[in-house]
Amino acid sequence: MTPELFRRFCALANDHAGLNLQRGKEAMVAARVGKRVRALGLKSAAAYLERLEADGSGEELAAFLGVITTSFTGFFREPEHFDILARAAAVWARRRTPVRVWSAAVASGEEAYSIAMTLATTLGEDGDWRVLGTDISAPALAEAGRAVYAAERLGSIHPTLRRQFLRLQRRGRDAGATFAISPRLRRHVAFGRLNLAGPPFRLRGGHDAIFCRNVMIYLTAEVRAELGAELARLLRPGGRLFLAHSETLADPSTELELVGPSVRMRPGDPLLRAALAEGKERRATGH
Amino acid sequence: MARRAASKKGNGKQRPQDGTHHATAYLHAVPTPIVAVDTAFTVTFINQAGAALLGGAPASFLGRKCFELFKTTHCHTAECRCAQAMQRGEAREGETTSQIVAGGLPIRYTAAPLRGPRGEIIGAIEYIVDVTETHRALSQAAEKVAHLDNIPTPVLAVDRDLNVTYINPAGASLVGQPAASLCGRKCFELFRTTHCNTPECRIMQAMSSGQVRRGEAVARPNGNAGTPIEYTAAPIRGVTGQIIGGLEYVVDISERKAVLEEITRIVGELANANLTVRSRGTYSGDFLAITDHLNRGVGAVNDAMGQVADAADQVSAAASQIATGAQAVAEGASEQASAIEETSSSMKEMADVTERNADSARHADQVAQSARATAAAGGAAVTRMIDAVAKIRASSAATAEIIRDINEIAFQTNLLALNAAVEAARAGEAGRGFAVVAEEVRNLAMRAKEAARRTEELIKGAMELADGGTAISAEVNTKFTDIVDKVDKLSDAVGGIARASDEQAHGIAQVNKAVAQMDQVTQRNAASSEESSSAAEELAAQADELAALVGRFQLTRSAPAPRPALQDQHAGPADPARRSSRQSRRLNGRRPVDPAAVIPLTDEENVADF
């Protein structure tokens, strides 16, 4: 891939998804673009770029953004966050209002279902709670909607949860078996396509929690700041923003308070804060 | 026909019946010469074709001796087939040459006995076929096949009745008998193939269809297990185009058969993805080349597949290493990020403290400045007080002068009073009152002196006190100067604190900047590790798929280091670009990318409702 070609692909990724692709990512961009080149039976990345730029429907652009973004995920990644979510949910249970949690970069759905399992355990499988999963990649969302996962991906789910929420889909040798998320869990979870680089989002807001993990790391500083502000706006007072452990808001003016490892809270829910403090103490004494 | 001949012999005395008449008509219509004779070889019937051959009308030849007419080499000999037929009572066939034309006419004739009403033989009927062309064709063929003697492939010719008319030495050796002894024998007796005496016989097919026919059969000339042969049969035609025999050449295909079977077996195994199969036979010539190439080809594919399997294993291992590495990097990034977060918040606290310090320093400076001013003012007041005390002292000194005047006045007044008392005493009685007054004046003078003395004492004390006050004031003045100096130093120190706080704040800002940069690096690392994880996952999946694809093949894995020649010849499978492109095509084919088919992409609803 020529430097010029690389630059133009990066510019597209930056313009449409706010991706911060620097020099050194040539091989990655070439490999990911290659997927589309082969899928369309084209001869070269240059031919693909032409096709991409000529595409008026936006479908190919969506496909491009789907492959150029990183969709790496897993069940109960950074498990501490789910402990925090469970403690928060225990407080929400007393509030008796619908609980809504948004997984903003859900990829192939593992995070949304991990959230759902956590909420189902705390608020009950028939509780009034919903999870929305959004992502920029349509193929990833397709996998999320299928809700079928290879056995080898399920190791990080607690055996109890596995028994409760997974159904054997296909028998197979070793890792060949697949499991489906139980319908009772799935009905709480909805998916939709959303580009996080284009705030404001058409969401009602007032979310109890937003998981936006391993997104910020890919974005340019400006997009990151805009996204951070937008996520803060969409939280209800006392709502929690979960970033990945390696991420920071990098916005000194944010009103969100750091209440846990990469967990921030919009001020205004003393009940929750007390619960968190209690949890923190418990954790401290537990060690 | 016999009756008709008999009636002719009866010289037409009997009226022929309708059937006989018809038969005669038919015989005349037959294009082949037909002649009937009695036991003395007298012609009793000759048809149109026969008469035409002799050059006259049929009637002109009746009653003549047949040997006079046809003049064959068989005539008057034991070879005469008519004589044989009459003698043996059965049909006889033979070939001979008639002298009716110059150079001789080769004919074939078949004779059958004619019997009388009691079954006794009364003559013979013969039909004659002109075999000139047959003979010419056969002689031509013989010339041609003479060349075949030198051909190592068995070649033989047969006549229409499958009598061997020619066989070359190779053919004879296949049968295992000398060539000369084989001519005239039936070919099916010699070769005993699986086609012999069946409709499959290609020579019969060739002769009946007039076309070249080829077939495969198993020949068992010696009744043994048999030799698979391929034989090709072609019709041999006479001059007029009629088929007079067949020529066949035979190829021993036992080796070809064996090779084909071997190749079929090998290819069949290959079709079942078994790459362990090899040709083990020893063949010659082209067959050796074919089996050798096949073996090398399969071996090369096997080795390549083995290498692909190894490569897939290695890729799989590498992918898990990458995944592990990426995981470690991710964990490192996480730890780094939390350290950065902690550093950030510590720095924020430090910045607050520094700012408070700077504020305090500024305030202390203000207070010091104000104390300095106050001390300076105190110093000035003390100076003024020293002046005032000096003035008091000067006034006291002046007052002391006045007191000395008063003391002087009191002394003189006392003298005056003494003088007055002396005068009063001289005046006696008359002066008695005056003496009293003088006494009183003297008392006043004494009192004035006393008052002046006490005042003098007081003034002296006051002057001493004023002197002491001046000394104290001077000391106070010195102290105040000292205070101003110290306040100045204090002010400098506080200024230093304020400046240090500023520098500290600046330093903290720089640290914050560095932390922000570290944060960016950390996040970039996190992104990279995430991307690596994702790539590793994909790589592992592809390696698994590759392994599964290769796993469908049965391989010989004990192969030592592959022969260099093979590697050179078969660089293809090792070409990573081609491999990966094939791989990805397969992968892409496997994964349908139609989200709409899987989840209703009612984005707006799903999202807006949330």
- Residue B137: the pLDDT is 80
For residues A89 and A57, membership in a common domain is answered with no
For residues A169 and A245, membership in a common domain is answered with yes
DSSP result, A219-286: B-HHHHHHHHHHHHHHEEEEEEEE--TT-----TT--PEEEETTEEE-S--HHHHHHHHHHHHHHHHH
Q: Kindly report the nearest CA distance between residue A203 and chain B, in angstroms.
A: 5
At B113 the three-state DSSP class reads strand
Domain harbouring A35, CATH code: 1.10.155.10
A248 CB within 8 Å of a chain B CB: yes
**Of B594, B607, B609, which to mutate for an interface test with A (greatest number of A Cβ within 10 Å)?**
B607
Q: Are A194 and B607 in contact (CB under 8 A)?
A: yes
What band does B509 get if pLDDT is binned at 50, 70 and 90?
Answer: confident
Domain that holds residue A163: 80-286
For residues A32 and A111, membership in a common domain is answered with no
For residues A194 and A60, membership in a common domain is answered with no
**Closest Cα to residue B185, out of B194, B193, B177?**
B177
For residues A111 and A53, membership in a common domain is answered with no
Report the chain A residue with the minimal C-alpha distance to residue B582: A38
Contact flag B584-A35 (C-beta cutoff 8 Å):
yes
Domain B2-130 matching CATH 1.20.1440.230: the answer reads: no
Cis peptide before B600 (omega within 30 of 0): no
For residues A61 and A120, membership in a common domain is answered with no
Contact flag A202-B516 (C-beta cutoff 8 Å):
no
In the predicted structure, residue B462 carries a pLDDT above the cut 90? no
B132 CB within 8 Å of a chain A CB: no
Phi, psi dihedral angles at A265 (to 5 degrees): -130, 140
- Domain boundary among the residues A68, A92, A109 is at A68
For residues A99 and A206, membership in a common domain is answered with yes
- Residue B585: the pLDDT is 33
Other C-beta atoms within 10 Å of B72: how many? Answer: 26
Domain B299-551 matching CATH 1.20.58.340: the answer reads: no
Question: Is residue A245 one of the residues assigned to a domain?
Answer: yes
For residues A46 and A87, membership in a common domain is answered with no
Please list the active-site residues of A.
32, 135
For residues A64 and A84, membership in a common domain is answered with no
**Of A77, A246, A256, which to mutate for an interface test with B (greatest number of B Cβ within 10 Å)?**
A246
For residues A105 and A219, membership in a common domain is answered with yes
Give just the sign of the alpha carbon dihedral B340, B345, B348, B352: negative
Instruction: Give the separation between CA B389 and CA B385, rounded to whole angstroms.
Output: 6
Q: Which two tokens stand for residue A128?
A: 């009034």
Question: What is the DSSP code (8-state) at residue B555?
Answer: -
B412 CB within 8 Å of a chain A CB: no
% pLDDT > 70, chain B: 88
For residues A104 and A200, membership in a common domain is answered with yes
Q: Are A65 and A193 in contact (CB under 8 A)?
A: no
Domain covering B136-252, topology: Beta-Lactamase (3.30.450)
DSSP result, B574-608: G-HHHHHHHHHHHHHHHS---HHHHS---HHHHHH
Q: Are B249 and B153 in contact (CB under 8 A)?
A: yes
Contact flag B330-A248 (C-beta cutoff 8 Å):
no
Contact flag A201-B588 (C-beta cutoff 8 Å):
no
Question: Is residue A74 one of the residues assigned to a domain?
Answer: no
- Residue B257: the pLDDT is 83
Instruction: Give the separation between CA A111 and CA B403, rounded to whole angstroms.
Output: 113
What band does A58 get if pLDDT is binned at 50, 70 and 90?
Answer: confident
Per the structure, the count of domains in chain A is 2
Averaged pLDDT for residues B562-573: 36
Where does CATH 1.10.287.950 sit in chain B? 299-551
A187 CB within 8 Å of a chain B CB: no
- Residue B56: the pLDDT is 86
For residues A86 and A34, membership in a common domain is answered with no
In the predicted structure, residue A69 carries a pLDDT above the cut 80? yes
**Closest Cα to residue B7, out of B38, B52, B29?**
B38
Question: What is the DSSP code (8-state) at residue A173?
Answer: S
- Domain boundary among the residues A11, A43, A68 is at A68
Where does CATH 3.30.450.20 sit in chain B? 2-130, 136-252
% pLDDT > 90, chain A: 42
Question: Is residue A75 one of the residues assigned to a domain?
Answer: no
Tallying the residues shown for chain B, one arrives at 610
Q: B129-133, B266-270, B581-585 — which is least confidently predicted?
A: B581-585
Other C-beta atoms within 10 Å of A8: how many? Answer: 16
Instruction: Give the separation between CA B525 and CA B333, rounded to whole angstroms.
Output: 7
**Is this complex's ipTM strictly greater than 0.90?**
no
